[in-house]
Amino acid sequence: MLPMPHQPLQVAAVPPQRSPAREVQAGPWHTEAVCRRDEAGLFFAPSKEPTAARLAREEAAKRVCGRCPVMVDCREHALLQPEPYGVWGGLTAAERRVVLARRRRREVELRNAASAAGRIAAAG
Ligand code: SF4
């Protein structure tokens, strides 16, 4: 498993800090992650964070992601794991769930279309 540019929270308590040691562990895209050191704690929610504060923090994290050269790789990683917490690749956990649901729906539609095409072809 690839090391993360920012650590996922097991318990939403204290925002994790990026570790300098991660440079040693880093995979191909992690080395360029703008959030390697998240001193501001933007990417994960502290416990009992009020909604307005969460929205502001997430927007700030997304602005960081917006200038990150590895945003696409990071986003795909977070979608494929999937990462349950935090902002990854410019998406919140809720936004990633929406993207994943859309992908699953699209896959089902494609499978159904392929199946229907196969039946039509078989019927001649
Ligand atoms: S896209 Fe955002 S979360 Fe991902 S590595 Fe870049 S700054 Fe970090």
Domain extent for 80: 29-123
83 is in an annotated binding site: no
- By most ligand atoms within 8 Å of CB, the mutation choice from 32, 35, 67, 83 for ligand 1 is 35
Query: Which pTM was predicted?
Result: 0.76
Residue 33 maps to a domain = yes
For a ligand 1 pocket test, name from 2, 58, 74 the mutation site with the most ligand atoms within 8 angstroms of its C-beta: 74
pLDDT tens digits for range 54-113? 999 999 999 999 999 999 999 999 999 999 999 999 999 999 999 999 999 999 999 999
Residues ≥6 apart with Cβ < 8 Å to 103? 79
User: What's the CA gap between 64 and 5, in Å, rounded?
Assistant: 13
Which residue's CA lies nearest to atom 2 of ligand 1?
A: 65
Is 66 inside a domain boundary?
yes
- 7 assigned to some structural domain: no
Confirm whether 17 is domain-assigned: no
Q: Is the pLDDT of residue 11 over 50?
A: no
Which band of pLDDT confidence, cut at 50, 70 and 90, is reported for residue 36?
A: confident
In degrees, rounded to 5, the angle at the alpha carbon of residue 73 between the alpha carbons of residues 78 and 15 is 45
Residue 22 covered by a domain: no
Residue 112 annotated as part of some ligand binding site: no
3 in Cβ contact with 22 (< 8 Å):
yes
Within-domain flag for 12: no
Q: Which pLDDT score is estimated for 37?
A: 81
Ligand 1 mean position, distance from CA 60 (Å): 12
1 has a pLDDT exceeding 70:
no
Q: Is residue 102 part of a domain?
A: yes
User: Is 75 contained in some domain?
Assistant: yes
